[in-house]
Amino acid sequence: MITINEHYLKLQSSYLFSDIARRVKRFQETHPEKEIIKLGIGDVTRPLPPACITAFHAAIDEMAIEDSFRGYGPEQGYAFLREAIAKNDFAARGADISADEIFISDGAKCDTGNFQELFSNDIKIAIPDPVYPVYLDTNVMAGRTGDFENGRYKGIVYLDSTRENNFVPTLPNEKVDLIYLCFPNNPTGSTITKEELKTWVDYARDNKALILFDAAYEVFVRDESLPKSIYEVEGACEVAIEFRSFSKSAGFTGTRCAFTVVPKQCMVYDRQGCAHSLHGLWNRRHCTKFNGVSYPVQRAAEAVYSEQGKKQVRELRDYYMRNADLICREISDLGYDFVGGTNSPYIWIDGKQDSWQFFDQLLNDAGVVCTPGAGFGSCGEGYIRLSAFNSFENVERAMQRIRLALK
Ligand code: PLP
């Protein structure tokens, strides 16, 4: 008899996006004349930067010729891309990361989800609330939690992100071994200072813990005093893994390219306390289960670091951030408390009411779709997330309608 991994039965179905879709469908059926503007999703809307498109085409042409055709590439990624990343994303910001510490992949979702495989099942895990659900669900699947009760999985140390701590969780009271952090944050849009990040790095060093730092939204950090990488903090190379993605920075959500940094200094311990290289373990896992990102996609990603590419990525970022600036201005004028939108494409708004009630109000009275905060964890109750990923014209119209609806 084939038996199930029973940990899957503990998973809470993600009703969030299906619930949203159901409510939107019902609204469209009852108001066929009303056009809906979606500010809920976290997907980009602008096309790939022209520099990426040119490199993409050229690489595909290479694949058409026997002499330049490429079959399987290195599982860890081509040196041309790993070197461009090390130079531009890390060395340029004073972070000492070498090309062979960078693993190219097809997404930060897979990498943040897969990384937990390297650890034993009895570690203590700290996960923020609200949170990007992948961190939590993959640990549930692996059997590192108890049942789901009163809105939370037993065994997880939840790190509350609230107005009181400015949506930056503080150190847990109990000892933990693995810590997930995400800045700029999805869903709250909050950012972390170097000093705050240092308290986490110091904690991890003192406790032989590890930080999994998700920097998928680093491109939106406009404030130069804020860290884009955890490796800008002294000592982080010993205790932190960083996840990055071209999805939001260069519009690669449908093209798929990302990378994970595993510094050689990072150690993980066996039951006898002997240290093992995390780099070696991830390399083993990556080469066993992954066969590399396609050559044209890696060439397209490399073009992000050309002079033209850098300029175009900045323009792309500025386009979305103009939307974010407009959303922040309007929400502030309406008297709502919010966070995010300054160094992040997400704006996290205190609706002063139940998340779903606020969602329904925006849908029914303004024809605008948002994401109810309660879907990201119990600390998200009362909040909604607006996303800056849309055309400026749509954001302008959506905010005019919201202004009329909420005034
Ligand atoms: N990490 C966070 C925090 C995200 O919000 C997302 C996507 O929305 C991802 C990772 C996924 O990135 P990718 O498209 O590279 O899989």
pLDDT in tens, 168-216: 999 999 999 999 999 999 999 999 999 999 999 999 999 999 999 999 9
| Residue 108 CB–ligand 1 contact under 6 Å | yes
- As a whole number of angstroms, the distance between CA 347 and CA 331 comes to 9
Kindly indicate the confidence band of residue 138, based on its pLDDT and cuts at 50, 70 and 90.
very high
What's the longest Cα–Cα distance across the chain?
68
The helix/strand/coil state of 339 is strand
Kindly indicate the confidence band of residue 12, based on its pLDDT and cuts at 50, 70 and 90.
confident
| Residue 109 CB–ligand 1 contact under 6 Å | yes
Average pLDDT (2-15) is 89
Query: Would you tell me the crossing angle of helices 392-406 and 307-333 to the nearest 10 degrees?
Result: 10
DSSP at 219? G
Beta-strand pair 178-182/210-214: parallel
Instruction: Tell me the CA–centroid distance for residue 256 and ligand 1, in Å.
Output: 11
Q: Which helix (H) or strand (E) holds 44?
A: none
Higher-pLDDT residue of 151 and 179 is 179
Q: Whose CA is nearest to atom 12 of ligand 1?
A: 108
pLDDT in tens, 241-257: 999 999 999 999 999 99
| Residue 229 CB–ligand 1 contact under 6 Å | no
Pick the closest to residue 331 from 384, 280, 275 (CA basis): 384
pLDDT in tens, 286-305: 999 999 999 999 999 999 99
Instruction: Tell me the CA–centroid distance for residue 40 and ligand 1, in Å.
Output: 15
Query: Hey, which residues does 158 pair with through a beta bridge?
Result: 127
Pick the closest to residue 129 from 161, 172, 167 (CA basis): 161
| Residue 218 CB–ligand 1 contact under 6 Å | no
Closest ligand 1 atom, residue 258 Cα? 15
- As a whole number of angstroms, the distance between CA 264 and CA 279 comes to 5
| Residue 253 CB–ligand 1 contact under 6 Å | yes
Instruction: Tell me the CA–centroid distance for residue 146 and ligand 1, in Å.
Output: 26
Predicted TM-score (pTM) of the model is 0.97
264-273 long-range CB contacts below 8 Å, 24 or more apart?
A: 264/98, 264/101, 265/237, 265/238, 266/210, 266/237, 266/238, 266/239, 266/240, 266/241, 267/238, 268/118, 268/119, 268/210, 269/208
Cis peptide upstream of residue 372 (ω within 30 degrees of 0) = no
Average pLDDT (95-118) is 97
Give the chain's count of helices (H) and strands (E). Answer: 13, 17
The helix/strand/coil state of 352 is coil
| Residue 215 CB–ligand 1 contact under 6 Å | no
Instruction: Tell me the CA–centroid distance for residue 64 and ligand 1, in Å.
Output: 32
- As a whole number of angstroms, the distance between CA 84 and CA 273 comes to 36
Kindly indicate the confidence band of residue 16, based on its pLDDT and cuts at 50, 70 and 90.
confident
| Residue 107 CB–ligand 1 contact under 6 Å | yes
| Residue 182 CB–ligand 1 contact under 6 Å | yes
pLDDT at residue 18 is higher than 90: no
- As a whole number of angstroms, the distance between CA 217 and CA 317 comes to 10
Closest ligand 1 atom, residue 246 Cα? 15
| Residue 144 CB–ligand 1 contact under 6 Å | no
Kindly indicate the confidence band of residue 331, based on its pLDDT and cuts at 50, 70 and 90.
very high
Beta-strand pair 338-340/346-350: antiparallel
pLDDT of residue 41: 82
| Residue 293 CB–ligand 1 contact under 6 Å | no
DSSP at 372? E
| Residue 104 CB–ligand 1 contact under 6 Å | no
Pick the closest to residue 278 from 224, 237, 232, 320 (CA basis): 237
pLDDT at residue 92 is higher than 80: yes
pLDDT in tens, 28-57: 999 999 999 999 988 999 999 999 999 999
